[in-house]
């Protein structure tokens, strides 16, 4: 109520005289442009003030327009979208006439070939890089994860089931502006099962504004889906068959039915992936209970079959200025994995050796359901209220069973001294999670120069983790408290934000925001060292300033502060069996990461350049090495670094050689510095790193197109691990069929079979058990190229717009990470 009173008072203080705006749209040959959209927008943030549609003579008219700074955006089917120069509407202007405006056509016809103008593949905005995925031929037939992998600065880490952005792993993924707070490996599985044919664009935000959650110190990746907007029934379908090491298949379909007041939509996708990958390593370590100093050659090959299902259904109804909607999202995955392990251990101090052969069978299954309901209320033409409620239900179960057989130098089966497990082990890991979210957002356009946004949000999360390792002794599975961890966790987060968009003058705009978040986390565990009782309240300011130098160039500046809270799984001390000497586990002592970002940008006619300085306090790195007090077991667990500093330069370069040959390149590079204190010897490191993305598109005759795309990541560090540079080159060939018959696309991934990730432990600093090792991860495509053939087709009206479905609980889902 107080906010309503304030809005009323400010509205009374900002009354203006009203004016009328008129004009007429014509083609170059003087023909009127009928039924074109004419939008009156605010230059500060392109927010809509008023709209009109041209009549049969191409004329338009807008009345009751308050004084202020504006610009007109004109769009129509078959014509290029045009932004007219910004202008000032003075209070004494009773009428402003634009006269005749010439609109350029957007379609050229050559026989039966239609060439449509496309957006550039990469576009730079003040707070994000936009990847217009429809501008890439590799989109159709690709999964969303594959498209994401080809995006600037993004590294999809298939080894560890993680996604990194500009060298930082603390990135969150959004769908239609809502964070997907699920295990990152589950997010990757969902994106693998989501057809890229349904994506409009990908927004990569390293400095998000205050209206977004402060979570994600590396930034956010927003995947924006299409949605049918015309009346009637529309949709699309696609089917993909492929082969790499083994078979692959994808099928997806979406349908939407719209009436004047009711919108119903549904989608379904299925992905099957039968693949093979693995790793090998050579090195040494000193493990007293396993014979002292060892020289080790070891490796593991994984053969897996993964089946994913993703389904969404929803409806929205409008009456007057109010819209009510609800939707349901369900995702599930079933995976069978078989690991073939080997090890050759040479015990140097006693001049003997052991051979190990091991099998580990794992079955992973998870289910995720998100229920969402929302209300949108247009209080007045310049005032809007949104309310969202969500409930997330997540369950996972990942049992494993392994056997290890050792042989001495003579080939006789033996049991090594100091082994803490029997020849057969099994692991249990369960993680049920429940999340409830309530969110309210309010926006008011006080004038053409000032817009206010405010909101509050509450999140309640409960989770539990059950994990243990058992050994088979005398035909009975036996466990111990040492290898058992059960934890119950509860977290409450309250947040509020306020943001003001201001047009200082026709060339300068400012967005200033402030967000406050308070989090309380409590965990009860069967071990005292795993109990958590943590409170944290913090302010997160943001500032964005842009200045147009002329019609072609613009300067940008921004500052943001962000946080990365540890995932629920990483805080839980689960135990997953690796081999007789090591396990994977969580870390209840993990601290959140606080990040400050300062960014300068310059845009010039489609080319964009930026320089970003950031500092992370307590950044989280995964899969670091540690040992027990008894020095009898090697742990792989997440840890906090002391800090990480990044100075990053980015350039987006669209290049058009001819009408049929276009290129887009993005380069990201700079200096990185970090400090470790969780290793045996504390250390800090400064190094240079870069990332390169590029594609070339050749538009041939007969509806045929060809694309080459590739990416390369330079040397990088994951905590104490050093990763050598690696990359991939892909190709795609597309054939558009006549009369809306759809299209076929042939895609080849990793042409040169180069996806081998090499690295080492122990070269940077002293590791647990003095371990030093060189390792290489060999992906499926490094063994054999992956070839996919896709057929896709749309039906109904093909005019689309950005998806409007809402799921607030996805703001919570990425804090769950599954390994």
Handedness of CA 478, 480, 483, 487 (dihedral sign): positive
Provide the pLDDT for residue 690.
92
* Lowest mean pLDDT segment, chosen from 215-229, 623-637, 707-721: 215-229
pLDDT score of 353? 83
> What is the pLDDT averaged over residues 155-181?
72
494 pLDDT above the threshold of 50 = yes
pLDDT of 578: 65
Return the number of other C-beta atoms located less than 10 Å from residue 74's C-beta. Answer: 22
Q: Please state, as a whole number, how many other Cβ atoms lie within 10 Å of the Cβ of residue 666.
A: 25
The whole-number average pLDDT for the span 589-593 is 87
Average pLDDT (268-272) is 87
Helix (H, G, I), strand (E, B) or coil at 530: helix
Look up tokens 């634009």; give the residue.
98
SS3 703: coil
pLDDT value at residue 305: 94
pLDDT of residue 775: 93
Distance CA 574, CA 429 (A): 7
- What percent of the chain stands above pLDDT 90? 24
Domain boundaries, the chain: 2-109, 228-813
Is pLDDT larger for residue 179 or for residue 504? Answer: 504
pLDDT of 685: 94
Closest listed residue to residue 673, CA positions, set 663, 660, 687, 659: 687
pLDDT at 527 (0 to 100)? 64
- Torsion angle in degrees (nearest 10) through CA of 773, 777, 778, 780: 160
The whole-number average pLDDT for the span 88-110 is: 73
Residue 562 neighbours by CB under 8 Å, 6+ apart: 208, 214, 215, 216, 217, 219, 540, 594, 595, 597
Instruction: Please write the tens of the pLDDT for every residue from 723-753.
Output: 999 998 999 898 888 877 888 889 898 999 9
Nearest to 464 by CA among 435, 430, 491: 430
* Max Cα distance, the chain (Å): 101
How many CA atoms lie less than 13 Å away from 295 in the CB half-sphere?
7
Q: Are 213 and 811 in contact (CB under 8 A)?
A: yes
Q: Stretch 460-483: mean pLDDT, rounded?
A: 78
Q: How much is the pLDDT for 167?
A: 66
Question: What does pLDDT average to over the chain?
Answer: 81
Residue 482: pLDDT band by 50, 70, 90 thresholds? low
Q: Which is more confidently placed, 559 or 417?
A: 559
| CATH value of 2-109 in 3.30.1360.170, 2.60.40.10, 3.30.70.2170, 3.20.20.70 | 2.60.40.10
User: How far is the C-alpha of 21 from the C-alpha of 580, rounded, in Å?
Assistant: 77
Q: Residue 772 — pLDDT band, cuts 50, 70, 90?
A: very high
State the Cα–Cα distance between residues 414 and 255, nearest whole angstrom. 61
pLDDT value at residue 142: 67
Facing residues of 406 across strands? 356, 414
Query: What is the model's pTM?
Result: 0.76
Q: Residue 537 pLDDT more than 80?
A: yes
Please state, in angstroms and rounded to a whole number, the distance separating the CA atoms of residues 602 and 610: 6
Q: pLDDT-based confidence at 646, cuts 50/70/90?
A: very high
Task: Pick 144 or 134 by higher pLDDT.
Answer: 144
Classify domain 228-813 at the CATH superfamily level.
TonB-dependent receptor, beta-barrel domain (2.40.170.20)
Confidence of residue 366 (pLDDT cuts 50, 70, 90): confident
> Over the stretch 291-315, which tens digit does the pLDDT of each residue have?
788 898 999 999 999 898 888 899 9
pLDDT band at 659 (very low <50, low <70, confident <90, very high): confident
Strand partners, 701: none
Q: By the 8 A CB rule, do 434 and 462 touch?
A: yes
Residue 214: which of 262, 152, 182, 170 has the closest Cα? 170
């Amino acid at each position: 109520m107080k906010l309503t009173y304030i809005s009323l008072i400010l509205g009374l203080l900002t009354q203006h005289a009203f004016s009328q705006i008129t004009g007429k749209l014509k083609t170059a040959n003087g023909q009127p442009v009928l039924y074109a959209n004419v939008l009156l927008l605010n230059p500060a943030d392109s927010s809509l003030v008023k709209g009109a549609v041209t009549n049969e003579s191409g004329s338009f008219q807008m009345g009751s327009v308050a004084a202020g700074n504006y610009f007109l955006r004109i769009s129509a089917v078959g014509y290029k979208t045009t932004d007219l120069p910004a202008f000032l509407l003075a209070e004494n202007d009773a009428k402003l006439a634009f006269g005749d405006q010439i609109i350029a056509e957007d379609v050229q016809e050559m026989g039966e070939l239609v060439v449509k103008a496309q957006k550039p593949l990469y576009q730079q905005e003040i707070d994000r890089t936009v990847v217009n995925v429809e501008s890439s031929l590799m989109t159709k037939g690709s999964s969303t994860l594959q498209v994401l992998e080809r995006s600037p600065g993004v590294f999809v880490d298939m080894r560890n089931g993680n996604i990194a952005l500009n060298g930082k792993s603390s990135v969150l993924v959004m769908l239609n502006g809502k964070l997907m707070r699920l295990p990152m490996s589950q997010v990757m599985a969902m994106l693998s099962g989501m057809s890229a044919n349904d994506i409009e664009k990908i927004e990569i935000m390293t400095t998000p504004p205050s209206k977004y959650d402060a979570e994600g110190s590396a930034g956010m990746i927003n995947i924006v889906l299409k949605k049918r907007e015309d009346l009637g029934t529309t949709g699309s379908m696609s089917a993909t068959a492929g082969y790499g090491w083994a078979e692959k298949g994808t099928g997806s379909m979406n349908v939407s039915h719209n009436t004047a007041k009711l919108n119903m939509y549904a989608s379904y996708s299925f992905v099957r992936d039968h693949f093979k990958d693995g790793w090998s390593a050579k090195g040494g370590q000193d493990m007293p209970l396993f014979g002292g100093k060892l020289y080790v050659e070891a490796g593991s090959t994984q053969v897996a079959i993964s089946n994913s299902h993703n389904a969404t259904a929803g409806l929205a109804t409008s009456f007057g200025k109010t819209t009510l909607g609800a939707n349901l999202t369900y995702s599930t995955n079933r995976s069978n994995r078989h690991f073939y392990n080997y090890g050759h251990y040479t015990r140097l101090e006693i001049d003997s050796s052991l051979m190990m052969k091991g099998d580990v069978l794992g079955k992973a299954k998870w289910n995720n359901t998100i229920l969402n309901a929302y209300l949108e209320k247009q209080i007045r033409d310049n005032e809007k209220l949104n309310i969202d409620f969500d409930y997330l239900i997540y369950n996972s179960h990942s049992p494993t069973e392994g056997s290890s057989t050792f042989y001495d130098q003579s080939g006789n089966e033996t049991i090594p001294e100091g082994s803490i497990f029997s020849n057969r082990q099994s692991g249990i890991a369960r993680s049920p999670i429940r999340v409830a979210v309530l969110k309210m957002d309010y926006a008011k356009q006080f004038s053409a120069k000032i817009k206010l946004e405010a909101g509050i949000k509450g999140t309640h999360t409960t989770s539990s983790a059950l994990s243990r390792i058992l050994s088979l002794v005398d035909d009975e599975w036996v466990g111990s408290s040492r290898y058992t961890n059960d934890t119950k966790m509860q977290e409450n987060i309250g947040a509020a934000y306020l943001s003001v968009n201001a047009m200082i003058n026709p060339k300068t705009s400012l967005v200033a925001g402030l967000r406050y978040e308070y989090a309380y986390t409590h965990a009860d565990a069967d071990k005292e060292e795993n109990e958590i009782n943590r409170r944290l309240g913090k302010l997160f300011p943001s500032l964005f300033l842009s200045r147009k130098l002329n019609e072609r160039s613009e300067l940008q500046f921004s500052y943001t502060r962000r946080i990365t809270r540890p995932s629920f799984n990483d805080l839980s001390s689960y135990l997953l069996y690796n081999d007789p000497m090591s396990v994977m586990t969580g870390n209840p002592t993990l601290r959140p990461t606080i990040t400050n970002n300062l960014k300068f940008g310059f845009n010039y006619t489609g080319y964009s350049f930026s320089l970003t300085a950031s500092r992370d306090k307590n950044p989280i790195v995964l899969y670091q090495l540690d040992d027990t007090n008894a020095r009898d077991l090697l742990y792989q667990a997440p840890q906090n670094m002391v800090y990480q500093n990044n100075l990053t330069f980015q350039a987006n370069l669209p290049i058009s050689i001819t009408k049929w040959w276009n290129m887009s390149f993005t380069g990201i590079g700079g200096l990185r510095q970090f400090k470790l204190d969780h290793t045996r010897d504390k250390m800090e490191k400064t190094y240079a790193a870069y990332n390169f993305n590029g594609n070339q598109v050749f538009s041939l005759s007969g509806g045929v197109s060809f694309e080459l795309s590739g990416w390369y990541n330079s040397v990088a560090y994951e905590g104490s691990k050093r990763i050598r540079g690696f990359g991939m080159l892909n190709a795609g060939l597309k054939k558009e069929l006549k009369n809306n018959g759809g299209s076929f696309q042939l895609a080849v991934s990793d042409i040169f079979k180069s996806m081998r990730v090499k690295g080492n432990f122990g070269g940077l600093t002293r590791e647990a058990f003095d371990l030093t090792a060189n390792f290489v991860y060999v992906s499926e495509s490094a063994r054999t190229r992956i070839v996919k053939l896709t057929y896709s087709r749309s039906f109904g009206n093909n005019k689309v717009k950005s998806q409007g479905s809402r799921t607030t609980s996805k703001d919570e889902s990425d804090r769950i990470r599954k390994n």
